[in-house]
Amino acid sequence: MSKVRVFAPGTVANMGCGFDVMGMTLDGVGDVVSVEVSEGDDLEIENRSHVELPDDIEKNVITPAVRALMAAYGEKRMVKFVVEKKISPGSGIGSSAASSAAAVYALNVALGRPFTDERLVEFAMEGEKLISGGTPHADNVGPSLLGGVVLLRGYEPLDIVRLPVPDNFCCSVAHPEIMVSTRMAREVLPKEIPLRTAVKQWGNVAGLVAGLALGDVHLVGRAMCDVVVEPYRKRFIPGFDELRVKVLAAGALAMNISGAGPSVFTLSADMDVAERVGEIMREHFAEQGIGSDIYVCKVSNQGARVLND
Ligand code: HSE
């Protein structure tokens, strides 16, 4: 029998303008998944978390991700997972992605590493397909598995580009106690956008990638502007525009919705600013009668990893 315990970090998908194609890795926040592999042919998932997960295994994001891996592996095994969720589902910081990323990473190690980390991204994406209403995307599972900032240049075939993370890249994330499902946050989006809007957005995505490649955090901040998705999703976040005015005045370079929301994140070039901005975000939601969890951290270059007990 082979046993492996893995941590996979939370992530900020989209990074503002890069809907479904950009994501970055948070430091210290994430899920832990253990796996035991033995002879046989079955899948079990045990939840040892403070958060509820679906009783039906078919509704757990780990299931399609693991089935995809085992189908590619081509041999049968008894696979038993224990999930310790540290990120609340529906938070917008890659909760489901962290679980499926940790599960496929752990299983790959237990099987003797037959697959590359990039291939694991393809398997973990199947979990995202389950919760998003049918669209597989890798802007959470990519950074959760690989670490750093990840660009999905294309999906058919999957073309993953890992971008450099500037040293002074500080992130403040506020997770307000509001429920917004990924499925709902995707259903409100338009199926088509005007060319003028697309021109603004691809200028920003190009600016974001250039800013990362050049290590220019101010260019990154200017480019983190989403004219396609944010207008439809910000209605779920009370006082979104007002909060942005406050955090920019406090020195943040940009503020956007994290993934499908309701978390919001800011980027700062200085940890003191990031800490102050975190407090402003907490106060903002408290004024609206909404509690929030605040995370202030650097963007991490480390993705999923084995834990030594
Ligand atoms: N890119 C995805 C979205 C991330 O914004 O819907 C959440 O899975």
Same domain, 67 and 190: no
Classify residue 304: in a domain, yes or no.
no
Same domain, 79 and 185: no
Same domain, 22 and 160: yes
Write down which residue in 143, 164, 185 finishes a domain: 164
If 0-12 CB within 10 Å is exposed, 13-18 middle and 19+ buried, where does residue 94 land? buried
Classify residue 307: in a domain, yes or no.
no
Write down which residue in 147, 164, 181 finishes a domain: 164
The pick from 11, 125, 186, 188 for probing ligand 1's pocket by mutation, whose C-beta has the most ligand atoms within 8 angstroms, reads 186
Ligand 1: centre distance to CA 50 (Å): 24
Distances (CA, A) of 100 to 87, 179, 295, 299: 13, 21, 22, 21
Strand partners, 304: none
The pick from 91, 139, 180, 237 for probing ligand 1's pocket by mutation, whose C-beta has the most ligand atoms within 8 angstroms, reads 139
Same domain, 104 and 160: yes
Q: Is the dihedral of CA 182, 188, 190, 191 positive or negative?
A: positive
Same domain, 145 and 272: no
Same domain, 175 and 36: no
**Residues 6 or more apart whose Cβ sits within 8 Å of residue 272:** none
What is the distance between the alpha carbons of residues 180 and 243, in angstroms, rounded to a whole number?
Answer: 19
Kindly give the number of the ligand 1 atom that is closest to the alpha carbon of 96.
8
Classify residue 24: in a domain, yes or no.
yes
Classify residue 85: in a domain, yes or no.
yes
DSSP state of 48: -
Residue 238 CA neighbour count, 13 Å, CB half: 16
Q: How many domains does the chain have?
A: 2
Same domain, 218 and 122: no
pLDDT of residue 309: 60
Q: Which protein residue's CA is at the shortest distance from atom 1 of ligand 1? A: 20
Kindly give the number of the ligand 1 atom that is closest to the alpha carbon of 186.
6
Classify residue 305: in a domain, yes or no.
no
Distances (CA, A) of 187 to 11, 152, 232, 257: 22, 22, 10, 16
Classify residue 303: in a domain, yes or no.
no
DSSP state of 235: G
Ligand 1: centre distance to CA 257 (Å): 10
Kindly give the number of the ligand 1 atom that is closest to the alpha carbon of 14.
1
pLDDT of residue 263: 96
Ligand 1: centre distance to CA 182 (Å): 7
CATH number, domain of 182, equals: 3.30.70.890
pLDDT by residue for the chain (309 residues), tens digit each?
A: 789 999 999 999 999 999 999 999 999 899 999 999 999 999 999 999 888 888 899 999 999 999 999 999 999 999 999 999 988 888 889 999 999 999 999 999 999 999 999 999 999 999 999 888 778 899 999 999 999 999 999 999 999 999 999 888 899 999 999 988 888 999 999 999 999 999 999 999 999 999 999 999 999 999 999 999 999 999 999 999 999 999 999 999 999 999 999 999 999 999 999 999 999 999 999 999 999 999 999 999 999 999 976
163, 144, 139: which is closest to 18 by C-alpha? 139
Same domain, 118 and 140: yes
Same domain, 192 and 58: no
Q: Active-site residues: which are they?
A: 128, 182
Q: What phi, psi does 190 have (nearest 5°)? A: -70, 155
Same domain, 148 and 188: no
Same domain, 240 and 274: yes
Classify residue 56: in a domain, yes or no.
yes
Name every protein residue with a CB atom under 6 angstroms from any ligand 1 atom.
13-14, 19-20, 128, 132, 137, 139-140, 182, 185-186, 259-260
Classify residue 71: in a domain, yes or no.
yes
Q: Which domain holds residue 69?
A: 2-164
Kindly give the number of the ligand 1 atom that is closest to the alpha carbon of 92.
7
What is the distance between the alpha carbons of residues 160 and 225, in angstroms, rounded to a whole number?
Answer: 22
Same domain, 180 and 281: yes
Q: Which protein residue's CA is at the shortest distance from atom 3 of ligand 1? A: 260
CATH number, domain of 160, equals: 3.30.230.10
Write down which residue in 164, 186, 215 finishes a domain: 164
Model confidence, pTM: 0.95
Ligand 1: centre distance to CA 187 (Å): 11
What is the distance between the alpha carbons of residues 73 and 84, in angstroms, rounded to a whole number?
Answer: 26
Q: What's the CA dihedral at 124, 125, 127, 128 to 10 degrees?
A: 140
Helix runs in the chain, H state only: 62-73, 95-110, 117-132, 141-146, 182-187, 195-214, 217-223, 230-233, 240-249, 271-287
